[in-house]
Amino acid sequence: MNDKIEQRRKRRSRVRSKILGTGNRPRLSVYRSNRYINVQIIDDVRRETLLGLSEKSLSLGAALSPIKRAQAVGEELAKRARSQKINRVIFDRGSYRFHGRVRALAQGARKGGLEF
């Protein structure tokens, strides 16, 4: 198996072994591809996705930088989560380092009113 993929898999399992999303405090999971960023709010106890949002689903201008787009996704996610009465979440960065687009998404979600 590819060493890079195996390292990412180990990192993801190490992070997720410490995180469990419940009904009171669901997990905010981040997936970052080369072009887009996707987020989901998940209740691990019921094994249910409560809310999902993709950068593709928003009509963000291509003129914005990737970090600005990620921050806008975080703010929109927080707005939709608050409308469903979700105020507190556990941030799950997966196998990604907490910098760049992942950090911008978290800052946008905090700015929108979510508590980590």
Task: Indicate which CATH number applies to the domain containing 50.
Answer: 3.30.420.100
Res 61 pLDDT > 80: no
Res 91 pLDDT > 90: yes
Mean pLDDT within 75-90: 96
> In a 10 Å sphere around its CB, with 0-12 CB exposed, 13-18 middle and 19+ buried, how is residue 98 labelled?
exposed
Mean pLDDT within 39-62: 90
Q: What is the pLDDT of residue 57?
A: 87
Mean pLDDT within 49-59: 91
The whole-angstrom separation of Cα 30 and Cα 36 is 11
1 pLDDT tier (thresholds 50, 70, 90)? low
> What are the strands, taking DSSP E only, across the chain?
27-32, 37-43, 48-54, 90-92
Work out how many domains the chain is built from and give that number: 1
Task: List, in sequence order, every residue forming a beta bridge with 52; answer none if it has no partner.
Answer: 40
How many CB atoms lie under 10 A from the CB of residue 32?
A: 20
59 pLDDT tier (thresholds 50, 70, 90)? confident
Full residue range of the structural domain in which residue 39 is found: 3-112
| Helix H or strand E segment including 39 | strand 37-43
The whole-angstrom separation of Cα 29 and Cα 89 is 10
Q: What is the pTM (predicted TM-score) of this model?
A: 0.88
Q: What is the pLDDT of residue 60?
A: 75
Q: Using an 8 Å Cβ cutoff, are 96 and 102 in contact?
A: yes
Res 31 pLDDT > 70: yes
**Tokens representing residue 52 in the block:** 């999902």
